[in-house]
Structure 1
Amino acid sequence: MKRKFIILSQLTLLMAGLFIAGCVKLDVTPTNKFTDETYWKSEDKVNSVLNMAYRQLFSSDYLLANELLSDNVYNGYGTPNEKVISNGLADASNGRFEGNWGNCYGGIKTCHTFLANVDRVTTMDPALREKRKAEIRFIRASLYLELTTWYGDIPHFTEDINLEESKTLTRKPQAEVMAWIHKELNEVAEILPSREQYAAADNGRITSGAAVALNARAYLYENNWSKVAEYCEKLISGSSYGAYSLFNNYQELFWAKNEYNSEIILSMQYVPDLKTWGNLVDYVPMSANARLCIAGPTQGLVDSYLMKNGKKWTAADPDYADRDPRMAATIVYHGSKWVDRTGSEYNIVIHPEGTTPAGKPSDKYTGAGTAQTPTGYYYRKYADPSSSSYTGGGWESNLNLPLIRFADVLLMYAEAKNELQQMNSDVWNQTIKKLRQRVGFDDTNEALNLPTGDQGALREIIRNERRVELALEGLRIFDIRRWKTAETVLTQAQRGARFDKSSGNYDYIKLPAGNFNRNRDYLWAIPRKERLLNPGLIQNPGY
């Protein structure tokens, strides 16, 4: 059975859902069921709380919404919290600021409850108990990493707190929080099994490789290049923490039948019927039974995909032919092929003057604020064509969503080695070249071999490679923030496909620029609700 360890009873899932929904304040307390000494009597109870923590590790909502904060995607329908942030209009009451804070501290509360009580289950094998503690410690470290990445200095505590204690907390310096995260992840990496040491029934559990990879990402967010290289090498050059390699098919890497492949280091777990996610209903083509298209990939993202021969795309080239195959695997453009769940294939028609396939809803671009795409493009990544990946015939998917892939490790390593001025053909060949060979670039020097140029030129190539390889996976916003390019790319007017005829001839769709204040927006506001409870939480500048 798929993902046995994460399957819970309907009752436990309901209780978990109620707990998550109620997590707003630092002092939020799980239901008495989980703090009552009589609860901690069996391994099943331990697993129930552990599974709750897994559920709180991350969400599909934030993975998709994080793209709305970046230059990869333009939100054209409605005004979600992320659009308010992108427009520079968010204040300390913004729902995303509050939601991220509350969800992370709610998950941390679950972790502290687990660690404070698991030793009461005396019938549990001691070695297994330590492994389960290590999983919880990883989740807690990951949640603290998310918090400090968004908010900077944060309240940091490693044991449960009560209401009065929560009102006295102050913000610990980010550097101290990061030092604790690195130490935690180092320790749990030596306790957790590698991916090969887990039985099939434990597929999806946190591994030692995940701890090493997350530590590399944490160092990446600090621009600590020597440490990034050191931790990536543990996964690239050895197998002590698991053996990882690139999966041979980029598009099918994101299909349910391959979700435990050799490239996946950590993923969000989903289960048919019991736990699904349905966000794609608002991103895929209307002809694929979408509800509407709230956001679409930008022309800037499309333009970042090279030609298959390794050259940059220019206006003299065909719009979509002979491009990096990752583009077609990630983005639906005019003329794309779409395979429905019966196996039937048809052409996607987005151009305003195109002819919609018989019996299909229109995917054509019709202007701003309509149900169709606002950019002339739709999502393809994660749209598994297999009917078994969905519940009820709609877009409720049981596909696992990758959080860390081996491809990301290769990209982190390439970036670190270049910043250390240690990029050479050996490093290039085991990183960028492998990624391009995997997707089928032409066998040309320009496509596959280390390019000539200085460190700055290579930096732009590696950054672009990172953008296209990891597109729509929720990571772009963190990259442009750590590169300090957000203040530039997010304030430039975006474009969509060449479908705008308002001037008489077809031109690129003009999309409004966002607003990013470099003196404020590299950190999020401490939620207003939290500061009303605890005035000692000093606000970030500009809010």
Structure 2
Amino acid sequence: MKKTLFIFGIASTLCFTSCEDMFSPAIENILDIETAYDRPLYAQGLLLNGYTRVPTNSWSFNDVATDNAVTNDRASDYLKIATGQWTAINNPFDQWRNSKSAIQYLNNFLALTDKVQWATTEPVTAMFNDRMKGEAYGLRALFLFHLLQSHAGKSKSGELLGVPIVLEHETLESDFNHPRATFEECMQQIYADLQKAEDLLPLDYEDISSESQIPTKYQSIGINVSDYNRVFGDHFRLRMTRRIAQAIKAKAALQAASPAYSSGNTTTWADAANYAALVIQQKGGIAGIDPQGALFYQSASVNTMNEGRNTAEILWRVDRGDVTSNLEADHFPPTLFGRGRLNPTQNLVDAFPMANGYPISDAANSGYVATAPYDNRDPRLKNYILVNGGTAGVNNTAINTAVNSPTNDGLNKVETSTRTGYYMRKLLRQDVNLNPSSVSGQYHITPRLRMTEIYLAYAEAANEAWGPMGTGIHSFSAYDIIKAIRTRAGVGTTNGDPYLEQVKNDKALMQQLIRNERRLELCFEGFRFWDLRRWNSNFTQPAQGVSIQNNAYTTINVENRVYEPYMQYGPIPYSEILKYNNLEQNNGW
């Protein structure tokens, strides 16, 4: 009996102890927001959350949803939407959750940063506060741009709408049922935030050596060289800067001035050109173009970008991190132990001109030979696309993509083979070895912004604003930019590029050339989908490939593109429309 009572007592004690824990849980490692005031690393975590969410932190390879490429990955969401499965529920281009979450963190940071003790002295605290507020404003503008890119569109009444503008940190008690602002209101908010970022940030993060280099506003509060470098020195090279904010402004303005959006806002082509020109001028004008900028992913450039340093081509990038081989594992052909995921199309291959500058469609001048289609072509073709007979990998292995190839590199041989007759070469380090007996990786660079994008933005906007040879208030024209880019690529260098000279007095032909140069220079970097949309271009061009057999090159249809006209603009997530009756869906979705 005593034994029974003892066991009952233990059981009762355990029961009541468990109940006590259930109703009064132990203190967890969750800090109140006020803790951030005297714990600056905690506060900075809110800001850093924004950096981790930047959509271009990794490659999307959404070219496979366009006429640039297809994929052999049958589970790809981009393949699904390109072939008719794009809905407001299934939307791999969705930025609603990611970018709105980032803005929430940034708003939270902006609400508390003035109260944080960033350093032991007030002057240094003031500098840290300025810098990080500038970063937050720049990032908030960037995320609003991505929201517009993915979700702006026309309502049933035809009004061009943006997204809800939220500038305050939201709590559980907040009203989340916001209506969408107009596209114009969103653009003005982007410009306002970018101006604040420009006012607070340095052009670049580099150590200074003289007190005369300290901005006047910081000299007046007694800042010395050591203190300035502590806040604005080279240790912070990969963070938001004034130069980056200016480039984001050019990027946003280019979209706003484009045909799909121009009727709903006041940004003009001249505005877009002027914003891009400022970034170009600060990089030395046309003379500042990086000779190796088109090959930024190769070892000659990547290996110099240590300790946050950039080449002249890279405006902003992700930390290169550790040596890796994942990119090559996804995209090398099977012979090189890769999965060959992205397959460039014949459409894209045909867009590369001959080395003499003429399009291959110009039978009279180009010199194109259908039985030797890759000879005497624009050098970018073989740099960016692995064609039949091209070499790749550490041993310069010849790749045979023909129908009767003796290897799995051939057309449709196995599930990891090419579906188009081509493999991607751009972005890949050829000195990566995937052989299981001796795998070796390399450093890689993922840019968030490249100067080539800004050069091309200026060329496009300047041509639309002032024509091919017009310069506005600047010293260079659209023609000058395109000539420099084609010269860097090795196009028309032996004959004066007569095709460019032919189109330089025709705005419409120059527009076609600029758009094509943009397609080539930025292929596989996630631009083509957005460009086709903002240009109101045809989305439904079938993706083509090549079947090579007995030295005959036959163009084949590989994959139809199934898009409806209303898909010129993306949807608001269906789940958000169900939750909030003030949100209006884009027409057609």
TM-score (structure 1 length as normaliser): 0.82
Q: Which residue matches 1:154?
A: 163
Alpha-carbon spacing, 1:72–1:455, altered in 2? closer, same or farther (3 Å)? same
Residue 346 of structure 2 aligns to which amino acid in structure 1?
Q
| Structure 2 residue aligned with 1:316 | 369
- Most deviating of 394-403 and 431-440: 394-403
Matching residue of 2:450: 405
How far is 1:530 from its partner? 1.7
Where does residue 193 of structure 1 map in the other structure? 202
Amino acid in the other structure paired with 2:314: I
2:411 maps to amino acid: Y
Aligned to 1:234: 278
Instruction: Indicate the residue corresponding to 1:140 in structure 2.
Output: 140
Would the aligned equivalents of 2:36 and 2:43 in 1 still touch at CA under 8 Å? Answer: no
Distance 2:286 2:462 in 1: 22
Within a 5 Å distance, the mapping from 1:87-236 to structure 2 comes to 87-96=83-92, 99-124=94-119, 125=124, 126-152=126-152, 153-195=162-204, 197=206, 199-223=233-257, 224-236=268-280
Partner of 1:375: 420
Report how far residue 34 of structure 1 moved: 6.8
What CA distance in whole angstroms lies between the structure 1 residues aligned with 2:417 and 2:580? 45
SS in 2 for 1:542: coil
Structure 1 residues 523 and 428, CA gap change in structure 2 (3 angstroms)? closer
- The alpha-carbon distance between structure 1 residues 325 and 226, as it changes in their structure 2 partners (threshold 3 A), is same
Aligned 1:100-499 pairs, distance under 5 A: 100-124=95-119, 125=124, 126-152=126-152, 153-195=162-204, 197=206, 199-223=233-257, 224-238=268-282, 245-250=288-293, 252-255=295-298, 256-259=302-305, 260-272=310-322, 278-290=326-338, 292-314=339-361, 316=369, 318-340=372-394, 344-356=395-407, 362-366=408-412, 370-386=415-431, 399-424=444-469, 426-428=476-478, 430-441=480-491, 442-446=493-497, 449-452=500-503, 453-485=505-537, 488=538, 490-499=539-548
1:297 deviates by 0.9
**Deviation at 1:79?**
3.7
AA at the equivalent of 1:351: A
2: CA distance, partners of 1:435 / 1:505: 33
Between the two proteins, what is the percent identity of the paired residues? Answer: 25
- Aligned-partner Cα distance in 2 for 1:267–1:73: 25
Deviates more, 1:168-177 or 1:258-267: 258-267
TM-fit CA distance, 1:432: 0.9
**Equivalent residues of 1:424, 1:450 under 8 A apart:** no
Q: In 2, are the aligned partners of 1:141 and 1:181 still within 8 Å (CA)?
A: yes
* Cα RMSD after superposing both structures: 3.0
Equivalent of residue 85 in structure 1, options 78, 81, 91? 81
Residue 218 of structure 1 aligns to which amino acid in structure 2? A
Aligned residues: 490
User: Does the 8 Å contact 1:68/1:75 carry over to 2?
Assistant: yes
Distance 1:278 1:510 in 2: 30
SS of 2:55's equivalent in the other structure is: coil
Q: How many Å separate the matches in 1 of 2:199 and 2:458?
A: 22
Alignment partner, residue 11 of structure 1: none
CA distance in 2, matches of 1:443, 1:174: 47
Give, in whole Å, the separation in 1 of the partners of 2:420 and 2:144. Answer: 35
Q: Residues 84 and 563 of structure 2 are in contact (CA less than 8 Å); yes or no, is this contact kept in structure 1?
A: yes
CA shift, 1:305, in A, is 0.7
Match of residue 14 from structure 2: none
What secondary structure does 2:315 align onto? strand
Once the two structures are TM-superposed, the CA of residue 221 in structure 1 deviates from its matched residue by 0.5
**1:74 partner SS:** strand
Residues 176-234 of structure 1, C-alpha deviations (whole Å, 9 max, x = no match): 01111012112212322123636443232222111111111111101121101111221
User: Which residue in the other structure is 1:51 paired with?
Assistant: 48
**Structure 2: 5+ residue runs without aligned partners?**
1-27, 153-161, 208-232, 258-267, 362-367, 471-475
Structure 2 residue 116 is the aligned partner of structure 1 residue 73: no
Distance 2:439 2:99 in 1: 30
Instruction: Classify 1:328/1:34 alpha carbon distance in 2 versus 1 (closer, same or farther; 3 Å).
Output: farther
In the alignment, the residues of structure 2 paired with residue 154 and residue 95 of structure 1 have an alpha-carbon distance, to the nearest angstrom, of: 17
Post-superposition Cα deviations, 1:163-185, rounded to whole Å, max 9, x if no partner, equal 45353211111210111101211
Q: Distance in 2 between matches of 1:150 and 1:333?
A: 33
Amino acid across the alignment from 2:350? D
CA distance in 2, matches of 1:267, 1:329: 22
Superposed structure 1 runs of 4+ greater than 6 Å apart: 392-397
In structure 1, the residue corresponding to 2:86 is in which secondary structure? coil
1:36 aligns with 2:33: yes
**What is the deviation of 1:141?**
0.9
Shift in CA distance, 206/493, structure 1 to aligned 2, threshold 3 Å: same
Q: 1:130 to 1:33 in 2, by over 3 A?
A: farther
Check 1:288–1:45 CA distance in 2 against 1; reply closer, same or farther (3 A cut).
farther
The alignment's TM-score, normalised by the length of structure 2, stands at: 0.76
Q: Which entry has the higher C-alpha Rg, 1 or 2?
A: 2
8 Å contact kept, 2:297–2:429? yes
Shift of 1:258: 4.3
SS at match of 1:524: coil
Q: Letter of the aligned partner of 1:71 in structure 2? A: D
Letter in 2 for 1:253: F
Aligned position for 1:18: none
